[in-house]
Every structure is written in C-alpha cells, then in structure tokens.
Chains A and B, each alone.
Chain A
C-alpha cells in the first residue's frame, strides 16, 4: 500500500513549456485534489475530483487543467508554464466527500516546480 504517490519530485521548466504532474493513489479513494503551497502561504486548492469523470475548480484554477479517467489517477496539467506557477504541488485523496473529508485526507510528498 503506497498511499498517494507523486511524480516527478522536482522539475524545472522554461516559460511556455507544458508538463503533467502525476498523482496516483491505491486506497480506492473517491475524492482527490491538488493544492499548491507558496512561501509564506497556506495550501490553496487548485482543482478537485469527487470521482472518475467528475472534476471541478478550486480556489486558484487558472493555468491548470485536470482529468479523472480512473479512480486511481488524477494528473495536473500545465499547458503553458509561467514563473507565477513556481510552487510546491501536493496531491491529496480522501475516502469521504463530506465535511469530514479533511480529517481523512492523505497527502502525497509533493512536486517542487521551478519555472524560469
């Protein structure tokens, strides 16, 4: 049971390049989400999914796309990277969509992204 895994751990991009941050979980969780953490800031929700085929925007969705074709995977795509997207990205999953989801959210180890 690997929990939530994220790849890559670290990535450097040039402005305008595209890339996909991978996230996978093996706990059969319905709910998955992406957060970004910037220096001096808390985690901010980018996109989330409540099940395969269902996604929605969070607090800071601009510049990011997501899809959820399987229960296990929830990739985050940057179509045209910008320096403002330099951040640490965390994927999380949960077994519950309810208000208590926060208690059971499991976070991945993060992907550190630098956009030059």
Chain B
C-alpha cells in the first residue's frame, strides 16, 4: 500500500516556465516531507524539505507547499532550467518514529526543454 503517491510519472516543461510536481500522502502521522532529485546513474540527492508546522518553504528557485488538510504537497521550480531535468522523488517521515524512516513516492521524470 503506497503511503506516498506521485501520480504523474512524467512532466515536460519549457525552459523559463514553472514546473509543478505533485505529491499526495495517506498517513496522517507524516509530519516531515522532503524532495529528492535523481540524475541517471547517480544516487538521489536532497533538494528541499518542509515540516508540518509550515505551509511553505523556499530555497532559491525551489519552493515546496504543504496542504495538510488535503494531504498534498507540491514542488515549484521557477524558472525551470534544462539542468533541472531529472527524476524527483517525494518522501515523508513520521517524527514520532525512532528511525526517522522515509517513505518514498514513485518519482516524477521532469524534462525541461529549451
């Protein structure tokens, strides 16, 4: 049972435009959310995170929005650049867990074309 869902396997955006990647979760105990970026033949790298006490977190061109009532978060990339082309994974964690274990979505392949 997938507790973190990324329903769009792919997204194609023109350079300079906004990319919006979506993620839904089902477990109400999740209170910490992360986005990872993955290039081919490399491991995932941490991109940005948000705690459930916030509804927005911004880091340069990347902004993550959290809607707790809808159990939905999104990653906005503005402006999109060709170097942003990668697979983006949404992940969630329950801070009550002693492990800080992450649950990952299936990923969204973002392609930014010139």
Residues of chain A at the chain B interface (Cβ within 8 Å): 4, 35, 40-45, 48, 50, 56, 58, 90, 92, 96-110
Contacts and interface: CB of A to CB of B under 8 A. Distances in A.
Contacts of A40: 9, 106
Interface string B73-114: 000000000000000010101111111111111110000000
29 contacts: A4-B43, A40-B9, A42-B4, A42-B6, A42-B91, A42-B104, A42-B105, A43-B89, A43-B91, A43-B104, A50-B99, A56-B99, A58-B101, A90-B44, A92-B43, A97-B100, A99-B31, A99-B32, A99-B95, A99-B96, A99-B97, A100-B100, A102-B93, A103-B49, A104-B46, A105-B102, A107-B44, A109-B42, A109-B43
Interface residues of B, number: 31
B53 interface: no
B32 A109 contact: no
By secondary structure, the B interface counts as: loop
Given A99-B94, A102-B91, A109-B43, 11 more contacts: A40-B9, A42-B89, A43-B104, A44-B104, A97-B100, A98-B100, A99-B32, A99-B97, A99-B100, A102-B93, A106-B43
Contact of B101 (A4, A45, A108): A45
B70 interface: no
A102 B43 contact: no
A100 B105 CA distance: 18
A48 B101 CA distance: 9
A68 to B, nearest CB: 15
